[in-house]
Homo-oligomer: A and B are copies of this chain.
């Protein structure tokens, strides 16, 4: 992480002194950088299911959230759901948007770049002929995703571009989605 200055007050709401302390700690003990995030999911019926994010591990210890976070998923009526929650592909866009925002803001803070506002819109194209097995040439996943950021910062225009590049250059979700992740899947009887 590049360091413009060592600030002792938060920048962009990020405790920059703690951020640099984390960097120093990882340099001294690289194993504390290994994290494992996890969720469980329970199917309700049809397109409705619910995940729970309660704990994770990192810094060589088991860690937990203060309380479990429940994440409900459903599909809209046109996709045969009850429309009680966002659907999985909308959650994917949220994962990407939230990770890019946080990655931009943290790395900007580390460089002393103060940001006032970040708003973004994300959209992605899906062709259901893939999911429905109607055309093997049509992929089942997103064909492409577009992200548009609008930023207010006391910075020249080229620094606005840099802020977004700090996001794309560091975001774990952006890296995962653009480069792909191996996923192993097993099944057994409940």
Q: How large is the interface on A (under 10, 10 to 19, 20 to 34, 35 or more residues)?
A: 35 or more
Chain B's closest residue to A58 (CB) is: B78
Q: Chain A, 16-44, contact with B by CB distance < 8 Å: what is the 0/1 string?
A: 00110011001100100111111111111
Chain A interface (Cβ < 8 Å from any Cβ of B): 1-2, 10, 12-15, 18-19, 22-23, 26-27, 30, 33-49, 51, 53, 56, 58-59, 63, 65-66, 69, 71, 73, 75-76, 78, 80, 83, 85-103, 105-106, 115, 117-135, 139-152, 157, 160-161, 163-164, 167-168, 170-190
The reply to whether A134 and B65 form a contact with Cβ atoms under 8 Å apart is no
The reply to whether A149 and B181 form a contact with Cβ atoms under 8 Å apart is no
The reply to whether A97 and B151 form a contact with Cβ atoms under 8 Å apart is no
Known: A170-B140, A176-B92. A33 touches B129 (CB 8 A): yes
Kindly state the separation between the CA atoms of A5 and B135 in the bound complex, as whole angstroms: 21
- Given the complex, which residues of B lie within 8 Å of A180, measured CB to CB? 177-180
- Given the complex, which residues of B lie within 8 Å of A69, measured CB to CB? 85-86, 90
